[in-house]
Structure 1
Amino acid sequence: MTWLTIVLLLLFGLLFLAAEVVFIPGTTIVGLIGFALLVAGVWLGYRDLGTPIGHYALLSTAALAGLILYIGLRPKNLAKVALNEVNNASVHDVRRPDVLPGSVGRTLSALRPAGTVLFDEEQRREVVTRGEFVAAGTAVRVLGIEQNRIVVEVA
């Protein structure tokens, strides 16, 4: 029964180490558990089965762990899980307004005091007035941009 415990400890230690290196790299906890299982298996091999068997367990465990690390950390295998492409996408930055002060648009909804305005026949923007209500279909002019809000008045 003792040899079965030692073999299972070593087997699960190697499996945890392989899982850390190949399947879930960077988690560290799985690798530490695997290393602890390997140390416990080798130590029990020395204690319960004697020095020659402990040496065999230590050497075989070290060789298999080295092989797992070599296979898992090869550049060819790392390239499969590494990010190799550059993302050049951009997002609309609200700090740089695309509707300039003085631009004229037409309200699509009533502004009470906020609503939607169509600029240049293609740009829909949410806008606000300085408190007045404006009917739908009315021409409005941009006064300015205040804290990410487009402020308009009747043109």
Structure 2
Amino acid sequence: MDWLTIALLLLFGLLFLAVEVIFIPGTTVVGLVGFGLLIAGIWFSYRDFGTGAGHVLLASSAVVVGFLIYLGLRPKNLNRMALTNVNHARVHDVRHPDVVPGTTGRTLSALRPAGTVLFEDDRREVTTRGEFVAAGSEVRVLAIEHNRIVVEKVA
């Protein structure tokens, strides 16, 4: 086999390994093909050009592969394939109400018996025990029943 074929085997083997380690890590097929091409190129160099050339190509290939692995394992490259974002969002838990009994607010709509009340800066859907309350009236929270805020008109 001539030197051009061996050089191309080594070149494509290193390119496939570089693609595997740096650009698309985790696919393993591309890396295995590259590793196979590299092994074939080194084996043919030992067979056709002797042990001296084989040792040189083996050592240089090992150095290049080591450098590629170093590039691929840098934190910048590892962060591309690892999930690093943390979700700090939360949902409103009805077991821990943010409007406690005794809180007062002003109705934005008429409560017939349900409507909207403004507690400080929070709009909440509320209900009464059956009575009607006009819009703009002041109300007080009586209780939290399941996921409902029960209010009464402040006299």
TM range (shorter): 0.5 to 0.7
Equivalent residue for 1:104?
A: 104
Contact conserved, 1:10 with 1:38, CA < 8 A, in 2?
A: yes
Q: Does 1:61 align with 2:84?
A: no
* Letter matched to residue 59 of structure 1: A
Contact conserved, 2:12 with 2:34, CA < 8 A, in 1?
A: no
Aligned equivalents of 2:30 and 2:61: distance in 1?
Answer: 11
Once the two structures are overlaid, the 10-residue window that deviates more, 89-98 or 122-131, is 89-98
Out of 19, 22, 32, the position equivalent to 1:18 is 22
Structure 1: stretches of 5+ with no match in the other structure: 21-26
Report how many residues are paired: 138
Aligned equivalents of 1:126 and 1:9: distance in 2?
Answer: 66
* Letter matched to residue 12 of structure 2: L
Structure possessing the higher radius of gyration over alpha carbons: 2
Structure 2: stretches of 5+ with no match in the other structure: 80-85
Q: So what's the TM-score if we normalise by structure 2?
A: 0.62
Equivalent residue for 1:33?
A: 29
CA RMSD of aligned residues (A): 3.6
Contact conserved, 2:17 with 2:65, CA < 8 A, in 1?
A: no
Aligned equivalents of 2:98 and 2:37: distance in 1?
Answer: 66
Equivalent residue for 2:143?
A: 144
Aligned equivalents of 1:126 and 1:81: distance in 2?
Answer: 47
Equivalent residue for 1:9?
A: 13
Equivalent residue for 2:38?
A: 42
Report the CA distance shift for 1:57/1:153 in structure 2 as closer, same or farther (over 3 A). farther
Q: So what's the TM-score if we normalise by structure 1?
A: 0.62
Report the CA distance shift for 1:128/1:42 in structure 2 as closer, same or farther (over 3 A). same
